[in-house]
Amino acid sequence: MNVADSSPAPAMNNLLASNADSQRTLYPYVTGTSVVGIKYKDGILLAADMGGSYGSTLRYKTVERLKSVGKHSIIGASGEISDFQEIMRYLDELILYDNMWDDGNSLGPKEVHNYLTRVMYNRRNKFNPLWNSLVLGGVKNGQKYLGTVNMIGVHYEDDHVATGFGNHLARPILRDEWHENLTFEEGVKLLEKCMRVLLYRDRSAVNKLQIARITQDGVKVFPPYSLKTFWNFNAFQNPTVGAEGSW
Amino acid sequence: MTKQQANWSPYDNNGGTCVAIAGADYCVIAADTRMSTGYNILTRDYSKIIQLADKSVMASSGFQADVRALQKVLAARHLIYQHQHNKQMSCPAMAQLLSNTLYYKRFFPYYAFNVLGGLDSEGKGCVFTYDAVGSYERVGYSSQGSGSTLITPFLDNQLKSPSPLLLPAKDAVTPLSESEAIDLVKTCFASATERDIYTGDKLEIVILNASGLRREYMELRKD
């Protein structure tokens, strides 16, 4: 018998999940691309574009991927948009039930991040993941918080975080240029630099982005806007000029 | 339509290296603080070391989400133990608990590679080393994780521990002094970080002895 014929893959598939008759997210449908988040002097800044991709088709152009969660937190999501909307239903219920105690306590970003971490890990244990990478930022009692969690439950905190392509393209910039005492203006400028690089090199990024800010004084998600771009580099003009078999 | 993506996997390897050395009256447990996935560094400052009881410390590498879940289970089980027995769990007891906890998930394992270090009931240093499904052994020193292939032979060479087959059994503790053991650990990681891309950024060393627990840090390569 040929060694290549006795591949263990089919047996493995049956062991892990029967793909035919179950309703699981085995691959995403409509997805959002990178989210970038940083700490700055007074709080947290998050940036994400508003594209919703259906495979490689740009299907939706006004998807809000930055949302506030309670009084002290903002969440940014990349990955499956419908799963993110489900997560928002979980979070809104969580915040509502917490409010109903009416005891003057409220969930902070640390608690929300921990909750998300458990939800994501629990769903991966059921082989039914929520297909997202999430960024959670917030300020409570003067403490800044910025963390992330992905679809299999891997999570961490840092001074700056990014999902997906942002890990490749934005974080090297952030490691170079980020510092503790960024002002709001400097922070936005740094995020815009990251988003511009992503716009140029990430094919599913679109030039319509939102920035969200959270400080001690509360959450603000700014209205969407576009970045100035420059496409007139010589190499962009006619990259195939002179190449045989092209026009 | 043909399949475009690789099948989803519930596992990831976030890298990292753990080392523990037991001495006559101390134990040194160390791990780097880098967390990676593939060629990405996710963060440079994630501690892989957790204190499970007064005299047991665990260092874990592998899949971070599983490691965190494992740590939570052990912390919860230790809290119950304290309520039931009104004392801290001993390190050998914690070692057995860790083994059982890992084997409990034998058919959907925690992808975690652990070393447990501490002091036994006589105050002697002890190290327990594990695989992902709970096989374990008490040893004098051990290394686990992505850099273990580089560090283990080096420790074997430097520490020449008595064979576990010897009869009557000989103590596995190393003959080094505490400060010599710390230096040896630092040397191990300084070497591993040169060749293993998953080891780096910072080394966290926990030292357990009769006077309690102490932490030391050493910077490692950031590339």
pLDDT of residue A241: 74
Would you say residue B113 lies in a domain?
yes
pLDDT of residue B5: 64
d(CA A119, CA A152): 10
- Whole-number CA gyration radius for chain B: 17
Residues 6 or more apart in contact with residue B207 via CB below 8 angstroms? B26, B27, B28, B178, B182, B213, B214, B215, B216
- Chain B residue nearest residue A56, CA to CA: B4
Per-residue confidence (pLDDT) for residue A247, from 0 to 100: 59
Position B39 scores a pLDDT of 96
What is the predicted pLDDT for the residue at B73?
98
How distant, in Å, are the alpha carbons of A129, B59, B64, B111, B112 from that of B11? Answer: 12, 19, 9, 7, 11
The ipTM assigned to this model is 0.93
Domain count, chain B: 1
The values of phi and psi at residue B152, to 5°, are: -55, -50
**Maximum distance among all Cα pairs of chain A, rounded to whole angstroms:** 74
Would you state the pLDDT for residue B173? 86
Contacts of B69 in chain A (CB under 8 A): 121, 153
**Please, how many CA atoms are within 13 Å of residue A147, restricted to the half-sphere of its CB?**
23
Taking alpha carbons only, the member of A132, A125, A29, A51 closest to residue B5 is: A29
CA distance B126 to B117: 6
Distance, in Å, from the CA atom of B141 to the CA atom of B125, rounded to the nearest integer, reads 10
DSSP string, B52-121: EETTEEEEEEE-HHHHHHHHHHHHHHHHHHHHHHSSPPPHHHHHHHHHHHHHHTTTS---EEEEEEEE-T
Q: How many domains does chain A have?
A: 1
pLDDT band (50, 70, 90) for residue B19: very high
> What single-letter DSSP state applies at residue A216?
T
User: Has residue A7 been placed in a domain?
Assistant: no
Cis peptide before B168 (omega within 30 of 0): yes
| Residues whose CB falls within 8 Å of the CB of residue B165, separated by 6 or more in sequence, listed in order | none
Mean predicted confidence (pLDDT) in B186-201: 98
| B98 half-sphere exposure, CB direction, 13 A CA radius | 32
Q: Which range has the worst mean pLDDT, A23-27, A216-220, B12-16, B64-68?
A: A23-27
In this complex, which of A27, A127, A152 lies closest to B65 when CB atoms are compared?
A: A152
- Which tens digit of pLDDT belongs to each residue from A142-178? 999 999 999 999 999 999 999 999 999 999 999 999 9
**Residue A238 lies inside a defined structural domain of this protein:** no
Position B152, amino acid: T
Enclosing domain of residue B48 = 17-219
Domain that holds residue A104: 27-225
CATH for A148: 3.60.20.10
Q: Which residues of A touch B (CB under 8 A)?
A: 13, 26-27, 55, 117, 121, 124-125, 127, 129, 152-158, 167-168
Q: Look at residue B9 and tell me whether its pLDDT is greater than 80.
A: yes
Residue B6 has pLDDT above 80, yes or no: no
Ramachandran sector of residue A153 (left: φ over 0; alpha: ψ -120 to 50; beta: rest): left
| Residue A25 among the catalytic residues | yes
pLDDT digits (tens, 9 = 90+) for B125-179: 999 999 999 999 999 999 999 999 999 999 999 998 778 788 888 888 899 999 9
Examine residue B198 and state whether it is found in any structural domain, yes or no. yes
Per-chain mean pLDDT for chain B: 95
Structure tokens at A29: 């449908």
The CA distances from residue B169 to B27, B156, B162, in Å, are 21, 19, 9
Chain A residues within 8 A of B76 when measuring between CB atoms: none
Decide if A153 and B46 are in contact by the 8 Å CB cutoff.
Answer: no
Residues of B with CB under 8 A from a CB of A: 4-5, 7-12, 14, 35, 37, 40, 42-43, 45-46, 63-65, 68-69, 108
pTM attached to this predicted model: 0.91
Q: Of B178, B190, B187, whose CA–CA distance to B214 is shortest?
A: B178
Q: Going by C-beta distance under 8 Å and a sequence separation of 6 or more, which residues neighbour residue A3?
A: none
Tell me if A73 is assigned to some domain: yes
Say if B182 falls within a structural domain. Answer: yes
Taking an 8 Å cut-off on Cβ atoms, the answer to whether A127 and B10 are in contact is yes
The span from the CA of B157 to the CA of B160, in Å, is 6
* Residue B99 counted as domain residue: yes
Between CA A201 and CA A204 the distance in angstroms is 9
Domain contains B6: no
- At A63-82, the pLDDT tens digits run 999 999 999 999 999 999 99
Residue corresponding to tokens 């934005």: A170
Q: What is the pLDDT of residue A22?
A: 59
How far apart (Å, rounded) are the C-alpha atoms in residues B111 and A181?
Answer: 39
pLDDT of residue B168: 86
Regions of chain A where pLDDT drops below 70: 1-25, 246-247
- Which CATH number characterizes residue B113's domain? 3.60.20.10
